[in-house]
A and B are shown apart, each in its own frame.
Chain A
Amino acid sequence: MRRILDNLYKGSGWAAALFILAICLLVMAQVVLNLIDKLASNFLGEAFGLTIPSYADFTGFFLAAASFLALAYTLREGGHIRVLLIVQNLPARYRHWVEVWCVTVSGTVTVYFSFYTAFLTYDSFVYNDLSPGMVAVPIWIPQLAMLVGLVVLAIALIDELFALLKGQKASYEGKGENLLEKNPVSAVIVREDGS
């Protein structure tokens, strides 16, 4: 079970990364087309007007997919920002309950939000809403990516809550709460005498 869940979070994170890669490729393709157009208008006096149809729409959809699919993975890697100024000085016992509180609040918001996103996606499906661009995409498809990301996040938070209640540490604890821990800068120590 543990392995299935971990793979779910990680897999969803990888899917998100692929969407970012896709954004980069898509945008770069458009830039190359712009460049060809620019050269054509300079040398041939006429641009071809090359564009990838609905490219802005697709970029936006990919971004939404990337953002939401990465949520659970980012949570477990300690990537989401929080203010620890006050709670970091609490004794470990209280700190544990602070984590329970945080996960419960976040989990509640996520479950609630997931339900309404499911309604939204279902409505788009039933009414067959299409995106406005040249290539009309049924809007429920990109919305489904958002829904999947939220559901995975909800699962991750519930998973986290159970682990905490069993007395385990949170998965994100001690991971990348600021840039310092994400990058190993602490490895460089300069001594006072400058040696």
Chain B
Amino acid sequence: MSEIALTVFLLLLLFALLGSGVWVAFSLAMVGLVGMTLFTEAPVGDVMATTIWGASNSWALAALPLFIWMGEILFRSRLSQDMFSALSPWMKNLPGRLLHVNIFGCGIFAAVSGSSAATAATIGKLSIPELSKRGYPEKMMIGTLAGSATLGLLIPPSIILIVYGVATEQSIARLFVAAVLPGLLLLSLFVGFVLVWSLFHKDEIPDEIEDLPFREKLYRSRRLVPVLLLILGVIGSIYTGIASPTDAAAVGVVLALVLSWSTNSLNRKSFFDGLMGATRTSCMIAFILAGAAFLTVAMGFTGIPKLLALWIGSLELSNYALLAALTVFFVILGCFLDGISVVVLTTSVIMPLVEQAGIDPLWFGIYIVIVVEMSQITPPVGFNLFVLQALTGRNILNVAVAALPFFLLMFVALGLIIVFPSIVTFLPNQM
């Protein structure tokens, strides 16, 4: 059987299993089993047990349950609520006014949560009632939330970057640092868009009723302190060298516990709810990672990735064409899978190609995260779209249309980091 036919067969099998509702991890393992049994002589079961054991007891991956747990604790605390009410009085004289709170709120929450859907849900839950009460245009309200919540994936600490770092053996600290400037770039693109849009639609942006005196504004800002301490604590512990990125996650958990304790939102129930939530989510991700690790090794035995890499290599695509092809590929895949699965599923096959093309794997990590961000707001499956659909009662197409300008802005950001790769590489090169 020719390798191309074999590849197509296994891909179809994967899509059939996924499409019929089989859990992602089991689908991956099943495709690995079938591929290896049919096309190799290797001892399948032994390889499976050894590979998965090896992939599951990793120290670097231990950051995953901890960061997820941190997010769970914060979700149950008053942190995000406080943040919103502290930010809003400062925005009075800015075109677009409180719409920027969505963007910055998401940006900051992203810095502590590491998840895009959690950011959309938390900030959206707080800001949508407030903004619609004041009469802000619905489309911009939904759009800003959908767009900037995706920053949860990029702005460190980012779970998806940890997963990418583990999968491709890149330094997670360098990936985190590399994500800072692109994150700021996206933030400023979003802010710029809201500014320009508001200048052209002055009458649609309502006046700010709450006019606090400067001192009151400052006083209100004290509520930002806990968030800032948390961000400083987590990121600072990495850069002072007392904690590796894995360790920093534990610092984050402890700080989050202290924070929620100091705001009286920590009790026995919220503690255990958060812990069990983190147990479930991290089990789900670790299991997918285990399935993907086995599939990767199984694919290695069949020789497919090498051949695919050779095949694409023989097309002699220029780097730009390769990136364009990959962008389309990832956005389509992201329509059906969540971000982490996309990264895990594809890195093993894509990385050899990327390295062969001479693309910096560090840069590629940031690139892939931005593409995955874009896929969070494309129908039919975009996690942020679902969240906002539930928050607003609008159908998914309306939400998708509202999010479209922000999708295009991410495209612009992608173009910028392709043309100016130093946006990504500048900071990590200073380390």
8 Å CB contact of A62 from B50, B62, B279: B62
For chain A residues 49-93, which have a beta carbon within 8 Å of chain B?
Answer: 56-57, 59-64, 66-68, 70-71, 73-75, 77, 79-87
Let me know if A116 is at the binding interface, CB within 8 A. Answer: yes
Let me know if A30 is at the binding interface, CB within 8 A. Answer: yes
Q: List chain B residues, Cβ under 8 A from A185.
A: 121, 124-125, 387, 390-391
8 Å CB contact of A105 from B30, B242, B336: B30
* Contact between chains at B62 and A23 (CB < 8 Å): yes
Q: A35 vs B393: C-alpha distance in the bound complex, in angstroms?
A: 49
* Contact between chains at B24 and A57 (CB < 8 Å): no
With A57-B59, A67-B290, A102-B21 in contact, do A17 and B276 touch (Cβ < 8 Å)?
Answer: yes
Q: List chain A residues, Cβ under 8 A from B246.
A: 27, 59
Q: List chain B residues, Cβ under 8 A from A179.
A: 117-118, 121, 383, 386-387
With A57-B59, A113-B29 in contact, do A31 and B242 touch (Cβ < 8 Å)?
Answer: yes
Q: List chain B residues, Cβ under 8 A from A195.
A: 133
Let me know if A151 is at the binding interface, CB within 8 A. Answer: no
Q: List chain A residues, Cβ under 8 A from B430.
A: none
For chain A residues 140-159, which have a beta carbon within 8 Å of chain B?
Answer: 142-143, 146
* Contact between chains at A20 and B282 (CB < 8 Å): yes
* Contact between chains at A115 and B117 (CB < 8 Å): no
* Contact between chains at B69 and A24 (CB < 8 Å): yes
* Contact between chains at B247 and A27 (CB < 8 Å): yes
Q: Which residue of B lies closest to A88 (CB)?
A: B21
Let me know if B356 is at the binding interface, CB within 8 A. Answer: no
Chain B nearest CB: distance from A92 CB in Å? 14
Interface residues of B toward A: which range? 35 or more
CB within 8 Å of B: which residues of A?
A: 13, 16-17, 20-21, 23-24, 27-28, 30-31, 34-35, 38, 56-57, 59-64, 66-68, 70-71, 73-75, 77, 79-87, 98-99, 101-102, 105-106, 109-110, 112-113, 115-117, 119-120, 142-143, 146, 176, 178-180, 182-183, 185-186, 188-191, 194-195
CB within 8 Å of A: which residues of B?
A: 17-26, 29-30, 33, 45-46, 48-50, 52-53, 56-59, 61-62, 64-66, 69, 75, 117-118, 121, 124-125, 128-129, 132-133, 135, 237, 240-243, 246-247, 249-251, 253-254, 272, 275-284, 286-288, 290, 336-338, 341, 380-381, 383, 386-387, 390-393
28 contacting pairs across A/B (C-beta < 8 A): A20-B275, A23-B62, A27-B249, A28-B251, A34-B241, A38-B242, A57-B59, A59-B59, A61-B57, A62-B62, A64-B53, A70-B282, A74-B284, A81-B23, A83-B18, A83-B337, A102-B20, A105-B22, A105-B30, A109-B33, A116-B49, A120-B46, A146-B53, A183-B118, A185-B390, A188-B391, A190-B132, A190-B392
